[in-house]
Amino acid sequence: MERNEWGGCITVGTTVILVGALLKLIKTKDANKLNSVMKRGVNEDNQENNEMVARYKRANQPQDINHEAIY
């Protein structure tokens, strides 16, 4: 691993610590506001119809292969 790759890994790894520290500074009442904003933006209960995901699923379906025809 080169020096710049190593530095990038350290930087990405420390972001978790920084985000955790910022979350500790948020008061409880502000956290409830933030939670309601996040629920409006991301709803994990909705199933999205995405063409790329549909193509991936079609490409990865098992195919019916007749092994007797090969021999």
* Matching residue, tokens 């193509």: 55
Q: Sign of the C-alpha dihedral, residues 67, 68, 70, 71?
A: positive
Q: What is the pTM of this model?
A: 0.36
Is-contact 49 41, C-beta < 8 A?
no
> Could you read off the pLDDT tens digit of each residue along the chain, which spans 71 residues?
888 899 999 999 999 999 989 888 877 777 777 777 776 766 677 777 788 888 998 898 887 776 665 55
- DSSP conformation class of 31: H
Closest CA to 34 of 19, 16, 48: 19
